[in-house]
Amino acid sequence: MALHLSRPFPAFLNLNPFSTKSPPSTKLKISCFAPHHSNKCKREYTNVMIVPTGVGAAIGGYAGDALPVARALSSVVDCLITHPNVLNAAMLYWPMSNVLYVEGYALDRFAEGLWALMPVHQNKVGLVLDAGIEPELRFRHLQVADAARASLGLPIMEYIITDMPLKVEKWVDPKTGQSTGRIKNPNSLLQAVQTLINRAQVNAIAVVGRFPDDDVGDVDDYRQGMGIDVLAGLEAVISHLVVKEFQIPCAHAPALSPLPLTQFLSPKSAAEEIGYTFFPCVLAGLSNAPQYLTKSSESLEKSCIFGSDVDSVVLPLDACGGDGALAFATSKRKKPLIIAVEENETVLNDTPDKFGIEVVKVSNYWEAIGVIAAHKAGIDPHSLRRNRISNIRCSSVMPTNGTAVSSATPIIQ
Q: How far is residue 337's CA from residue 72's CA, in Å, rounded to a whole number? A: 18
Has residue 358 been placed in a domain?
no
Q: What is the reported pLDDT for 82?
A: 98
Q: What is the reported pLDDT for 110?
A: 96
**How high is the mean pLDDT in each 10-residue block of the chain (413 residues)?**
44 45 47 48 91 95 94 98 96 95 97 95 97 96 97 96 96 91 96 97 97 74 82 93 97 89 86 90 97 78 87 97 95 91 96 95 97 96 86 74 52 43
Has residue 156 been placed in a domain?
yes
Has residue 336 been placed in a domain?
no
Has residue 208 been placed in a domain?
yes
The whole-model pTM stands at: 0.84
Q: Residue 178: which CATH number?
A: 3.40.50
Q: What is the reported pLDDT for 90?
A: 93
In DSSP notation, 145-195 reads HHHHHHHS---EEEEEE-SS---EEEEE-TTT--EEEEES-HHHHHHHHHH
Q: What is the reported pLDDT for 402?
A: 57
Has residue 379 been placed in a domain?
no
C-alpha distances out from residue 257 to 113, 119, 134, 293, Å: 41, 36, 10, 37
Has residue 413 been placed in a domain?
no
Q: In what order do the strands lie in the sheet with 250-255?
A: 156-161, 125-129, 204-210, 250-255
Print the domain residue range for 290. 100-294
Has residue 65 been placed in a domain?
no
Q: What is the reported pLDDT for 298?
A: 61
Q: What is the reported pLDDT for 88?
A: 95
| Alpha-carbon Rg for the chain in angstroms | 26
Catalogue the E-assigned strands of 284-355: 291-294, 312-316, 337-341
Number of domains in the chain: 1
